[in-house]
Structure 1
Amino acid sequence: MKSLLLITCLAAGYTATAQNRTPGDTLRSPLSSGPGKALIRLYAPKASEVKLVGDFTRTPIALTSDGQGIWKTEIGPLRPDYYTYTLIVDGVRTLDPKNASIKQGIASVENVVLIPGSETAFEDVQNVPHGELRQVWYSSSTLGRMRRMHVYTPPGYEKGRDSYPVFYLLHGAGDDDSGWSTIGRAGFIFDNLIAAGKIKPMVVVMPNGSMPTEPGTPLNMSRMRDLFSSELLKDILPRVEAGYRVKTSPADRAIAGLSMGGFQTLDVVLSRPELFTYAGVFSSGFFGPSIDEAETKYSKSLNDKDFNSKKKLFWIGIGKDDFVMEANRKTLALLDKHQIRYQYKETEGGHTWINWRQYLNEFTPMLFR
């Protein structure tokens, strides 16, 4: 009797499942639809409007319906790279449920789509030795709570005894410590550069530069800058130097960041110039009122005749269409005024990971030489 009941229930369940099948069950998205192109599709039979937004378009792209509940649009042609996007269904932002590749931030999640091509080789998974990426929790005395950072160790670290130079790599506003290792592709970029002999093996620390804020409180960049600086110096550096085989001289330390992380990098480098011999600022500068206080806040470093001799590399890169270009230019003018030397690169594009991954690939080989 029990066996008969089980068979009856399974049969009923199978029938119900079959009856509830929809065109969305076998739908695939995204799909390659030609060189530089991808087809994005969504099953939403009750939707009246579906749009797509992403870092490859300045305006939302409307999807069209086939009348059977399937909405679609083709993106491209785009330069081969990794891009992010989300869908807006009747005004509500949502993920593409058929695409499991995602990038998470502190308050949002986006899908990732790859437009394949030889141009992405530097950031792709290649058949080379791979390092390890760890999620490391530590106690922050600055914030009075547990915090997380991602740490990359190069191939061979576990089996060796050597000490390595250390590179602190900072993300931008809206992201967390996972940003550089997900959409930033940092671990794969380091693996490929090491395998090609273009960089020295190094430990890379990717901390969470986003400081906790009260709900509804406007983002205060100066406050986040000061909190992060305190946490980096009091909590993160000591934790890394106690827990990893890293060298501790300034010549073996580098720091770089994008957008908010670039702002934080400028703050640390000009507040504590003795700590880092290498620095990189991607798509950033002193934002808003911070440019007015910079000359006073960092007067000691700006007027230090020995500042340039303490830096082997001070690299600044930005896209021509970046919306922070004005802040960047004001920052360069301040550095020029005080005869602070730097290398500057202006590229195509805007405030996107497309540029930041390229900057990382170009910047890292100049470290620890």
Structure 2
Amino acid sequence: MKKTLIILLFLSFILKGNAQQAKIAPEGFDVKRQLSHYGKIDTITYPSKTVGANRRALIYTPPGYSKSKKYPVLYLLHGIGGDEKEWYNNGTPQVILDNLYAEGKIEPMIVVLPNGRAMKDDRAVGNTMAQDKVEAFATFEKDLLNDLIPYIEKKFPVKKEQTSRAIFGLSMGGGQALNFGLGNLDVFAWVGGFSSAPNTRQRKQLLSNPDVARKKLKLLWISCGDQDWLIANSKRTSDYLRQEKVPHVYYLEPGGHDFKVWKNDLYMVSQLLFKDVDYKKLNDLSPIGYTPETNIRRARYPQVYPNSKVHFQIHAPEVKKLQVDFGKKYDMTKDVNGTWSVITDSISEGIHYYSLIVDGMSIADPASKTYYGMGRMASGIEIPFAGGDYYALKNIPHGEVRIRRYYSPVLREWRQCYIYVPAGYDQSAESFPVMYLLHGGGEDETGWFNQGKTDLIMDNLIAEKKAKPMIIVMMDGNVSVAGGGNAFSEAPLKTFDRELKEVVMPFISSNYKVKKGPENTALAGLSMGGIQTLYAGVKDSHLFSALGVFSSGWFANQKELTDPQYALMTTNKDAINKNIKSFWIAMGGKEDIAHNNCKIMLSKFDEIGIKYTYSEYPGGHTWPVWRNNLYKFAQVLF
């Protein structure tokens, strides 16, 4: 089965220049063959002023090496338990490279394998993780820049420009390669880490100037085995690079923290070095994807590739037909063992609801978390994006989300709401302002917490002092009325208005430390909740100082609904403008289904003379837009 997997993966190709690049090394790539020419590995000794001693390194010169030619150089670093011979003894770089030269897949280059432990006693013996030995790995940066590179460039026929130097490494050496490469962009243009160890510098220390990196780097490579305990470190680094819009390859492969993975990495990377790089094509390079945060514990599928395509794999030998439904249906194929699989198109950022269709019946995927969306429980998958740092989980004080049940005399039933309280709420003698935050159609009170990440957004804003500590009440906006009718007609809106003002607001005021008065009260909602915000907020503008309307607007093409609302706003224009200090209206891009409706509504606001602030965030009728709306709206409150 293992052999079959390798062969299948080998059949997947992407174009690279005029050659084809396999997604994973083929069988036998690291086995010595009968070739007409071989490269050569020698030991060199160079004087190190940094260490105060002569130091050793290995150097590989390619087949056909000639002192009359000039070569680019790859500096290839070892792990914490190794030395300059670790790659040679365990990774057979000379065999891998010789085979690739014979196939015409790589550019001629010199490879230097140094000892990254820059100290007089640099042998990999005793406690290799002792403090002085770990510190010596950091000291190696000076030894590399001031001693080894000058020696190589004096003694060997190498190109000396930045675009002809590469630095890569495994584990501790991967961390070194990222630290030294990204920290010295005038020296290295080709940088990467294989299973990089946690000595990798943090965020802005690792990459202090993303603009320079974008201009100077020819290739930035991050890779790791999917079973490696250090994978989180590689993903954090990739996430930060995506956030800073620094092009890079994030390559995931089957395996753990071992040379099977690192030899494959060398095979892949060496074919990319010192050539033109097309990141668009390299985005398809990873043979496997990472497991998204929406997977249940230990579920390996679905997997998300770095290009945002999703790989589903399900073992169901008795099923006759299986599909994945994202709105677009993807037919899955079954292998001889009864395992179904499919890879989707690239899925846009944010959380997406989906279902499995099993022999015609739609069900939730047992491998993913479920959410109340689409008017029912549905599977969800989260596709991260570069701008999501503001709702990342960080080491800061965190508030809580509490679930409170209450009886509604308006609806004559027990209901519940989710309530965010900021960090320190229970210990504080003070009261807090409150925002009532409403979900969209087909969702419920859980939406802003589960899908919207309200608590993380607010925790980060409050910790950064960008928003005032506040209570946020996420109520259920779904109400039933006699005779039915859609949620946007007068009867349901009127019932919602009563539920909010006669039940929920008094309940919160009686049970939580809430500051009284409109100056301490805000109302906001998305889509259906935006219409509810307009209805309840405009009707009684004296109750609120701020209204947030996200991806919503009055249905301006339905006269029976809109005429009374605009008539009310026209009559009460002065009061609305006086009471609502921030009438904040936000929208996604033109792909947002509410975009045109909102534009028509705003033109009517202009005619009436209603004051408002408009914000647009690129995206459709989706949670990334609404998360960003909350992030921005919360900063203007109170």
With structure 1 as the length reference, what TM-score do the two structures score?
A: 0.84
Deviations for 1:219-242, whole angstroms, at most 9, x for unmatched residues?
A: 342222111101101001101111
Q: CA RMSD in A?
A: 2.4
Q: Equivalents in 1 of 2:559, 2:518: separation in Å?
A: 27
Q: Secondary structure at the match of 1:274?
A: helix
Q: Equivalents in 1 of 2:395, 2:356: separation in Å?
A: 34
State how 1:172-211 maps to structure 2 within 5 Å: 172-211=440-479
Matched residues, percent identical?
34
Partner residue, 1:33 = 305
With structure 2 as the length reference, what TM-score do the two structures score?
A: 0.50
Q: Secondary structure at the match of 1:254?
A: strand
Amino acid in structure 2 at the alignment position of 1:343: T
Say if 1:315 and 1:342, in contact at 8 Å, map to a contact too.
Answer: yes
- Structure 1 window deviating more from structure 2 (319-328 vs 223-232): it is 319-328
Say if 1:258 and 1:284, in contact at 8 Å, map to a contact too.
Answer: yes
The alpha carbon displacement at 1:300 in A equals 4.0
Say if 1:250 and 1:274, in contact at 8 Å, map to a contact too.
Answer: yes
The alpha carbon displacement at 1:183 in A equals 0.9
Q: Equivalents in 2 of 1:59, 1:336: separation in Å?
A: 39
1:245 aligns with 2:523: no
Deviations for 1:101-153, whole angstroms, at most 9, x for unmatched residues?
A: 22124841122223345432222222221111111111212111111111110
Say if 2:555 and 2:561, in contact at 8 Å, map to a contact too.
Answer: no
Deviations for 1:308-345, whole angstroms, at most 9, x for unmatched residues?
A: 12222111112211223343233223212211011122
Partner residue, 1:275 = 543
Say if 1:291 and 1:330, in contact at 8 Å, map to a contact too.
Answer: no
Judged with a 3 Å threshold, the aligned counterparts in structure 2 of structure 1 residues 290 and 134 are, in CA distance, closer, same or farther, namely farther
The alpha carbon displacement at 1:264 in A equals 0.2
Amino acid in structure 2 at the alignment position of 1:134: R
Alignment partner of 2:319 out of 32, 47, 53? 47
Of the two, which has the highest radius of gyration? 2
Stretches of structure 1 that go unaligned for 5 or more consecutive residues are 1-25
Say if 2:310 and 2:343, in contact at 8 Å, map to a contact too.
Answer: yes
Q: Equivalents in 2 of 1:132, 1:120: separation in Å?
A: 21
Q: Equivalents in 1 of 2:321, 2:484: separation in Å?
A: 32
1:338 aligns with 2:586: no
Partner residue, 1:66 = 335
Q: Equivalents in 2 of 1:120, 1:42: separation in Å?
A: 30
1:259 aligns with 2:527: yes
Judged with a 3 Å threshold, the aligned counterparts in structure 2 of structure 1 residues 289 and 220 are, in CA distance, closer, same or farther, namely farther
Amino acid in structure 1 at the alignment position of 2:525: G
Partner residue, 1:359 = 629
The alpha carbon displacement at 1:353 in A equals 1.4
Q: Equivalents in 2 of 1:197, 1:76: separation in Å?
A: 40
Say if 1:38 and 1:115, in contact at 8 Å, map to a contact too.
Answer: no
Deviations for 1:19-65, whole angstroms, at most 9, x for unmatched residues?
A: xxxxxxx97312243353432222232333332233xxx52233333
Judged with a 3 Å threshold, the aligned counterparts in structure 2 of structure 1 residues 363 and 33 are, in CA distance, closer, same or farther, namely same
Q: Equivalents in 1 of 2:534, 2:462: separation in Å?
A: 27
Amino acid in structure 2 at the alignment position of 1:42: I
Partner residue, 2:360 = 91
Q: Secondary structure at the match of 2:578?
A: helix
Say if 1:132 and 1:155, in contact at 8 Å, map to a contact too.
Answer: yes
Partner residue, 1:310 = 579
Judged with a 3 Å threshold, the aligned counterparts in structure 2 of structure 1 residues 27 and 278 are, in CA distance, closer, same or farther, namely closer
Partner residue, 2:593 = 323
Q: Secondary structure at the match of 2:366?
A: coil
Q: Equivalents in 2 of 1:196, 1:331: separation in Å?
A: 35
Say if 2:375 and 2:441, in contact at 8 Å, map to a contact too.
Answer: no
Q: Secondary structure at the match of 1:366?
A: coil
The alpha carbon displacement at 1:363 in A equals 1.4
Say if 1:81 and 1:354, in contact at 8 Å, map to a contact too.
Answer: yes
Stretches of structure 2 that go unaligned for 5 or more consecutive residues are 1-297
Judged with a 3 Å threshold, the aligned counterparts in structure 2 of structure 1 residues 131 and 184 are, in CA distance, closer, same or farther, namely same
**Alignment coverage as a number of residue pairs:** 338
Q: Equivalents in 2 of 1:281, 1:292: separation in Å?
A: 21
Partner residue, 1:23 = none
State how 1:17-28 maps to structure 2 within 5 Å: 28=300
Q: Secondary structure at the match of 2:624?
A: helix
Say if 2:556 and 2:601, in contact at 8 Å, map to a contact too.
Answer: no
Amino acid in structure 2 at the alignment position of 1:231: E
State how 1:3-22 maps to structure 2 within 5 Å: none
Partner residue, 2:495 = 227
Judged with a 3 Å threshold, the aligned counterparts in structure 2 of structure 1 residues 110 and 201 are, in CA distance, closer, same or farther, namely same
